[in-house]
């Protein structure tokens, strides 16, 4: 997982979680990502709101608010690892 990128926000979100921590936000995105429902988690430090999104890294937008940021959450691959 990449570090928290400040000054960024998701372009679209399908779920918002109120009063969450950054760790809870990333964990929820990782869990939802297993179902194909989250690639990136947006988070606002001031409001403690987490935004789950299926946006790709190139769809994340710049914002003037340094309290907002995103986590890019890698998702596990499906199937077995070949030798």
Q: Please name the helix (run of DSSP H) or strand (run of DSSP E) that holds residue 8, with its range, or none.
A: strand 8-9
Task: Decide if 81 is inside a domain.
Answer: no
Query: For position 27, what pLDDT does the model report?
Result: 94
- Residues 54, 41: Cα–Cα separation, whole Å: 9
Whether 66 shows a pLDDT value over 60: the answer reads yes
Residue 81 pLDDT > 50 = no
Q: H/E element holding 44?
A: strand 40-44
Alpha helix locations (H) across the chain? 22-33
Token code pair at residue 62:
């710049």
- Establish if 82 belongs to a structural domain: no
Give the number of domains in the chain: 1
Q: Is residue 11 part of a domain?
A: yes
Domain that holds residue 52: 5-72
Mean pLDDT of the chain: 87
pLDDT digits (tens, 9 = 90+) for 19-55: 999 999 999 999 999 998 999 999 999 999 999 999 9
In this structure, is the dihedral angle defined by the CA atoms of residues 25, 15, 13 and 34, taken in order, positive or negative? positive
CATH of the domain at 43: 3.50.4.10
């Amino acid at each position: 997982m990449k570090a928290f990128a400040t000054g960024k926000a998701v372009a679209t979100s399908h779920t918002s979680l109120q009063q969450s921590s950054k760790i809870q936000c990333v964990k929820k995105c990782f869990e939802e990502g297993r179902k194909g429902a989250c690639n990136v988690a947006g988070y606002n430090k001031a409001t403690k709101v987490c935004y789950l999104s299926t946006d790709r890294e190139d769809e994340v937008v710049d914002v003037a608010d340094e309290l907002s940021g995103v986590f890019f959450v890698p998702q596990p691959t499906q199937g077995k690892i070949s030798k």
